[in-house]
A and B are shown apart, each in its own frame.
Chain A
Amino acid sequence: MAKLLRLVATRLGLGLLTLLVVSVLIFFAVELLPGDLAEAVLGQAATEETVEAMRRQLGLDRPAPVRYLEWLGGALRGDFGTSLISGAPVGEAIATRFANTLFLAAYAAVIAVPLAILLGVLVALLRNSIFDRVANVATLTSISSPEFFVGYILILFLSIRTGWFPSNASLSGDMSLTDQLYRAFLSALTLVLVVTAHMMRMTRAAIINLLASPYIEMARLKGVPPWRRIVRHALPNAWAPIINVVALNLAYLITGVVLVEVVFVYPGIGQLLVDAVAKRDFPIVQACCLIFAATFILLNLAADVGAILTNPRLRHPK
């Protein structure tokens, strides 16, 4: 048991370290700006004096490591500085939008995860049948399509031509939950389609890999019926790969969400990031990147810890 805890602790420590390194990367990337931040903000029209004043205003006169520590400390408290464009605090702008993004991602995940695992196990059991082959072609097509392609097809057929769902997923706080779910349905469906395909393929591969192991053949030669082979012999060993599949795909949702938010004009953090990049509003870009990266790292961390915790060899050491 001590070994197990040590492994988990090591993994957690490594995850935190990665997060720290990534935060350094995000902060100092902006330092690589040709010229500096003040020149970039003011652009061509700047004079020596205005640039100097801007530098002082942004605190650029102090050394970068000091500014990094301040930025990181602020970020931990939810304070990401002020926007270069509007001058408003970044933290506030992000808070509601991040909640919206989490809502969308959770919405998609709640549908996609059970569906994908169920279908993945099913095609693994029916492998090499016609369903397996059709599923293979369908999922390959789905993961090959850019999110905006899937999104626009859904808009065209389920919104414009039939009028069933709204194409514009603008949300506001005073909507009821059902109304929010309805408005965000197409955005979520786009994510579901893309992520389910990924997850199905990975689940199928994990299960098939498992079914080829000698202990499953042994169970078969012991006369264990098929359903019992799956439930009792395969599943207890499948948790690690399945947890891995789920976590990796939730992490994948995070990249997908940016494009989907733009297609459906969904008021999430992804759209904010894209706007900020176009306007070169660096505090917002840095904050969004840090939040996305942190979520991504945490999910990967969860996958690894899950895999460690469900490994029978580690749970019952010698």
Chain B
Amino acid sequence: MSILSYVFIAVLALGLGYSLVRRDRELTITVVVVALLAALFYLLGGVGSLNVLSIAAAVLMGAAIAAYAFRFLLIAVLPQGGAQVMRTAPLTAAFGMLVILIYAIAGLFAPLIAPYGEAEVVGSAFAMADDQMILGADQLGRDLFSRLIYGARNTVGLALMATVLAFIAGAIAGLLAAVKGGWFDQVMGRLADVIMSIPSLIFALLILSIFGTNLGVIVVTVAVIYSPRVFRLTRAVAGNIVVMDYVEAAKLRGEGDWYLIRREILPNSTAPLVAEFGLEFCFVFLLIAGLSFLGLGIQPPTADWGSMVRENATLISFGVVTPLIPAAAIALLTVAINFVVDWMLYRSSGLKEGQG
């Protein structure tokens, strides 16, 4: 058994004692459930799985501590209003912000951070990790860590571009449909229905099979697939605002559509639209990663997380974790964004989910 496992068991025992002394029923049940889970792991998979569970627990703990520290830092650094908001933020949201910040830095400063170029062959194929290459080499002997960093720029950048395009198209159409109503609204609504009635991955595969896999085609295709979702949400949000008396007052004053959108609707719909942007990015990101994984996304030798998983997948059968790292990078960013969006949605929904 590793030291970590002993620490894990000790923490569980301490937690149980503490919860019993404090008569905290929820905590007691939690600790007992985790302990039972650990016992189950041990019975099924022996010491090895207990070690894995301990590592997972330690990682979670580390993430929680990092999130806590980051929130503390933000409260100290931010001006009054921001600090006030951060004080009520859950740890998950703080963790999400921290991860997004790290990814942004990695993406923006990739050439400065990465020790090697993304296409540079620096070792033998599948070389093990050493001092030069902290994560080892891929199937062509390129540094995995460097490719991971460049991936933040390429994969995230591409997804961001597609999301922005989808968002601009969808939001403008949605706002106009809400303001204009009538046939424009009807036609756009039906069009969105048709596009959304084809599963997104299938739609993407169809288009890519025809036009080939260059970056422009991917961005436009993904934007076309996801703009109806943005359209529907914007239409719904703006639809709720358009019926307000203040919009009616502006219409009766003789204001044009553009004024209505700019001054009356947009200022009142920023919160849901920003949250939707986050969600939309997650969808786009996962779709693009999926396409890359299928070999239909960003083409080599450009570093890209989806294709990195695919290229190194054979290593899995040797029990090596390497191919999981880029996949984890994808999951981590999506999780982080979802955590932040979840918190934003909770904040804007107010007390809808009060305690029973």
Contact = CB atoms under 8 A, between A and B. Distances in A.
Given A156-B324, A292-B202, A22 B316 contact: no
B201 interface: yes
B202 A293 contact: yes
B317 interface: yes
Contact of A254 (B199, B205, B324): B199
B201 to A, nearest CB: 5
Contact of A145 (B201, B309, B334): B334
Interface string A53-82: 000000000000000000000000000000
Contact of B328 (A34, A136, A149, A155): A149
Interface in B29-73: 29-30, 45, 48-49, 52
Contacts of B330: 145-146, 149
Contact of B294 (A25, A137, A149, A262): A262
Nearest to B296: A277
A293 B296 CA distance: 20
Given A18-B193, A156-B319, A273-B202, 12 more contacts: A22-B197, A32-B211, A128-B355, A130-B30, A134-B30, A144-B335, A145-B331, A146-B289, A152-B313, A258-B201, A274-B296, A296-B199
B209 A26 contact: no
Majority DSSP secondary structure for residues of A touching B: helix
Contacts of A33: 210
A156 B321 contact: yes
B197 A300 contact: yes
A161 B319 contact: yes
Nearest to B355: A128
Interface majority SS (helix, strand, loop, mixed), chain B: helix
B197 A274 contact: no
Interface stretch (A99-107, A113-121, A278-286): A278-286
A152 B319 contact: no
Contacts of A277: 205-206, 208-209, 294, 296
B232 to A, nearest CB: 14
B324 A153 contact: yes
Contacts of A297: 197
25 contacts: A22-B197, A25-B198, A26-B206, A32-B211, A128-B355, A143-B338, A145-B327, A146-B293, A146-B327, A146-B334, A148-B327, A149-B327, A153-B324, A160-B318, A161-B48, A162-B49, A255-B201, A259-B201, A259-B290, A277-B205, A278-B296, A285-B205, A292-B202, A293-B198, A296-B202
